[in-house]
Amino acid sequence: MIAVDTNILVYAHRRDAPFHAVARPRLAELAESGNAWAIPWPCMHEFLAVVTHPAIYNPPTPLDAALRQIEAWMESPGLVLLTEGPGYWKRLRETMVGARVRGARAHDARMVALCREHGVSMLWSADRDFSRFAGLKTVNPLLRS
């Protein structure tokens, strides 16, 4: 199963975002494939924070439009929303210790732990920081031609 990071969601949603022309069809292809794919809940929260923030986008996405976008993704029959389960703490702890995570990278460790908890084999992200975490293949889908 492939999970999708916040930056890919933002690029796919915002027409004025870098890589929109590549991210939108790639995400649509994944969502319409009929295969299971995933979005961690924290990425949904972060998506809302980024696209509605007036200091990041001028004009920002109106809240109603951002919520409709999330609802559209949630209509994909293959979507799995990743949330913390019974084994999450153990996976988060192992991830934090194994990658010697400090500070803001705790958010990345959280995404990795959620992916591991749910058996995700690949994370789509344009963020190279995920390479520090062993055991989860990270692919930038924007680089594929």
pLDDT in tens, 20-54: 999 999 999 999 999 999 999 999 999 999 999 99
Tens-digit pLDDT profile for residues 96-136 = 999 999 998 999 999 999 999 999 999 999 988 888 898 88
Strands 122-124 and 2-4: parallel
Q: Are the C-beta atoms of 133 and 112 separated by less than 8 Å?
A: yes
CA gap 62, 87 in Å, rounded: 36
pTM comes to: 0.93
Q: What angle do CA 56, 73, 96 make, to 5 degrees?
A: 65
List the domains of the chain with CATH numbers.
Answer: 2-139 (3.40.50.1010)
Q: How far is CA 33 from CA 16, 69, 90, in A?
A: 26, 18, 32
Tokens of 63: 């809240």
Query: First and final CA of the chain: distance in angstroms?
Result: 21
